[in-house]
Amino acid sequence: MHSHDGTDEDRYKKVETREGVGTVACAGETYANVRYGIARFQGMTRAGLPVPGVHRLDGHLEFENTEALQALVGSEVSLHLDDGSVMKLELLDSEGRVVAHGHGPGRCLCC
């Protein structure tokens, strides 16, 4: 039997995963050779249908320069992926965890 704890967490479905090496830009600085792993989750209705425009990105960045990583914690960064696309992410902690919520260029990868 499935129990629902009242959170929206179980109403997202992983629809894409991207991994590779890219470049991070923030506040005029650029950091090369940043390894990334990013998953895109699609918001879903209780009936299991996708909700247009409701997306969440969750993942991690691995910098060669750990001091740069420390300095960027709490910042919004632009991750330039190896395929040429760009994601705008918030760097949450010194472990390199990144997230983004919402819809639009750099946020959802669908437009």
pLDDT tens per residue across span 41-77 = 999 999 989 998 888 999 999 999 889 899 999 999 9
Q: At which residue do the structure tokens 């959170």 appear?
A: 7
pTM of the predicted model, to two decimals? 0.80
In angstroms, the first-to-last Cα distance of the chain is 37
> Percent of the chain having pLDDT more than 90?
71
Which residues 6+ apart lie within 8 Å of 97 measured at CB? Answer: 58, 59, 60, 91
Is 86 in contact with 34 (CB distance < 8 Å)? no
Residue 30 has pLDDT above 80, yes or no: yes
Q: How far is it, in rounded angstroms, from Cα 13 to Cα 70?
A: 31
Q: pLDDT tens digit string along 13-25?
A: 999 999 999 999 9
